[in-house]
Amino acid sequence: MPLDKWAPAGWHWLLWALIASGVTLLLLLLRPSLDKSHFALTYLLLVLAGSAVGGHRIGFALAVASFLLFDWFFLPPYGTLGIANAADWLVLATFAIVSGVAAQLVHRLRREAASARERTIEVDRFAALGASTLNVANARDALSAITDVISQRLRLETCRIHPMLSTLRSGSSAPDSLIAWVIANGCTAIGIRDGTTRLTSASGLPDAGLDDACRVLLPLHVRDRVAGVLEIAANRLTIAPAETRFLNALIPYAALAVERVELEATAGHAEQLRESDRLKNALLASVSHDLRTPLTTIMAVAHDLGGKDPRAALIEEEAGRLNRMVGDLLDLSRVQSGTSLTAVELNAVDDLVGAALQRVAGATSGRDVRVTLEDGGTLLLGTFDLAASVRILVNLIENAAKHAPDGSIELDVARRGAWLELRVSDRGRGVDELDRDRIFAPFYRPSGTLPDVQGSGLGLAIARGLAESQGGALTYLPRPGGGSSFILKLAAADLA
């Protein structure tokens, strides 16, 4: 804090000189009737008053003056600085020490009070800034509130905050390479007036070494990452220690404001996503209703015609196929939108396999599905979504029936540690190595697919999506001896 503010004005000196003279005159009049200790105490009072009101310089001046006046006028022999009585030396020395110490103490008290006042003002300023940055309606306003405060306090020409996201996004203005460095390293960079740059290894404004600086870039840390950069610049940066403290204290506010800008942007984006998700779901629901109702009518009419026209059976069949495709598309969009399955619970493998076999009974048209259950006589249990898992198995078995028209289809179920492994194998031509991942992509049909194999090309994509959305997995393995194996892994469970 600036001590020079305390240098007393000339009239202060005059005033205290007059007071000291007045007191001395008064005491001189009373000299015959008072003891010397009374004079000493009175002068001490004067020194204390002077220190408290006029500051430490006046206090010390008064202490010296009082010492001399006391000795001159009130210690015999009067009118000299000499001392007649040896015991009076003690009085004089005590007076000198007490008045000196008292002046010093009063001075220190005043200084601490002043610095406390300064701090209070600073705290109030931060509190006001914090409140205003937290309360502004728009996060961007908070940023400008902070930069305004900084540039006023530090008399800056430029004070800007660069949020990291917009810095990286703005393709038009090439991001300042120095800003990029600060973001990448999380350390302060200092631009020197001669055009060079000094890179530091610490964040925050350094206490020293800014004499020749014209621009400083400070990283704004939010937890463990750099959310943005605070740039301050002036033709001649002059920053007092108090201002360094002020700026370093403000940096967390700036970081919070930047984070708020980011959060607002994210929240806006999430809101948009939710809205588009809601629209998509509404669209799907309406599509499924609006497509299925006419399909029902078509199938009913075709059925009515049944006996009279052989083409009616074809209409009914094709309507059924159309319906399956609509269902596939709906399922795929559901899987891809990441809707998690809510019915993941304890289930028995018996239920899963039984329901799947019942569903495929028509599609495999009498083809043998050989089931091997490695259960050792006990029930195999797992935590999975039954309906979704049935759908996966049905897709795999139907897939095998389509692509491997001959030979049996095998379903092997076994417990492997924490997993249930359900393996659907066929003796078809298998899948080329190149295609082994692509067969799980929507609408992909591998080259060499049998010509009369019908399907939307969605079955495996849906199956894998459903497997993964319940924490399982679906993979392909070539089968030794020819053919394909699809392996579905689901979480196994034990009876508690």
Partner 1 sequence: MSHPKSMPLILIIDDEPPIRRAVRNAFGDAARVIEAATGSDGIDQTAASRPDLVILDLGLPDISGLDVCREVRRWSPVPILVLSARHADAEKVALLDGGADDYLTKPFSTTELQARVRALLRRAAASPETGATSITIGELSLDVSARTLRRQGELVHLTPTEWDLLRALMTHAGRTLTHQQLFHEVWSGRQYGDAQQYLRVYVAQLRRKVETDPLRPRYITTEPGVGYRFIGLTDATG
Binds partner 1 (CB under 8 A): choice among 178, 357, 414, 491? 357
Quick one: tokens of 429? 């031509």
Which position among 2, 172, 235, 289 is part of the footprint of partner 1 (CB under 8 A)?
Answer: 289
157: DSSP letter: S
- In the complex, the smallest distance separating the C-beta of residue 160 from partner 1, rounded to whole angstroms, is 53
* H/E stretch holding 11: helix 10-30
| Rg of the chain taking only CA atoms, in angstroms | 45
Residue 103 vs 381, nearer CB to partner 1: 381
Please report whether residue 379 would count as binding partner 1 according to CB under 8 A: yes
Q: Any idea how long the chain is?
A: 496
The encoded tokens of residue 81 equal 């600085």
Q: Does 77 sit behind a cis peptide bond, omega within 30 degrees of 0 on the bond before it? A: yes
What separation in angstroms does the CA of 494 have from each of 285, 341, 344, 412, 417? 38, 21, 15, 20, 11
C-beta of residue 355 within 8 angstroms of C-beta of residue 390: yes
Angle, to 10 degrees, between the axis of helix 87-135 and the axis of helix 241-305? 20
Cβ 288 to partner 1 shortest distance, Å: 6
**The token pair that represents 337 in the structure block:** 């939108």
**Residue 217's closest CA among 238, 206, 236, 232?**
232
From candidates 94, 238, 296, 336, binder to partner 1 by CB under 8 A? 296
Rule CB under 8 A: say whether 410 interacts with partner 1. no
User: Token pair 């596939």 is at which residue?
Assistant: 328
Q: Candidates 107-115, 221-229, 258-266, 377-385: pick the segment binding partner 1 (CB under 8 A).
A: 377-385
Binding-site member from 45, 348, 414, 491 for partner 1 (CB under 8 A): 348
Interface with partner 1, residue 445, by CB under 8 A: no
Q: Residues touching partner 1: how many (CB under 8 A)?
A: 42
Please state whether 132 falls in left (phi above 0), alpha (psi between -120 and 50) or beta.
alpha
Q: Does 285 bind partner 1 (CB under 8 A)?
A: yes
In the set 29, 30, 34, 387, which binds partner 1 (CB under 8 A)? 387
Is 297 a binding residue for partner 1 by CB under 8 A? The answer is yes
Nearer to partner 1, 249 or 298 (CB): 298
Query: Which backbone phi and psi does 217 adopt, to 5 degrees?
Result: -115, 120
Number of Cβ within 10 Å of residue 8's Cβ equals 17
DSSP H helices in 306-440: 311-336, 349-360, 386-403
Which of 207, 368 has the CB closer to partner 1?
368
- Residue from 268, 294, 448, 482 touching partner 1 (CB under 8 A): that is 294
17 binds partner 1 (CB under 8 A): no
Q: Is 353 in the site for partner 1 (CB under 8 A)?
A: yes
Q: Is 355 in the site for partner 1 (CB under 8 A)?
A: yes
- Residues 48, 51, 55: CA angle, nearest 5 degrees: 170
| 316 contacts partner 1 (rule: CB under 8 A) | yes
Phi, psi of 29 (to 5 degrees): -65, -35
Nearer residue to partner 1 within complex by CB, 81 or 300? 300
Q: Which stretch binds partner 1 (CB under 8 A): 56-64, 274-282, 345-353, 472-480?
A: 345-353
Report the nearest approach of partner 1 to the CB of residue 389 (Å). Answer: 8
Q: Which stretch binds partner 1 (CB under 8 A): 3-11, 22-30, 293-301, 444-452?
A: 293-301
Nearest-CA neighbor of 240 among 1, 487, 424? 1
Where do contacts with partner 1 occur on this chain (CB under 8 A)?
A: 285, 288-289, 292-301, 303-304, 316, 319-320, 323, 327, 343, 345-348, 350-351, 353-355, 357-358, 371, 373, 379, 381, 385-387, 390, 495-496
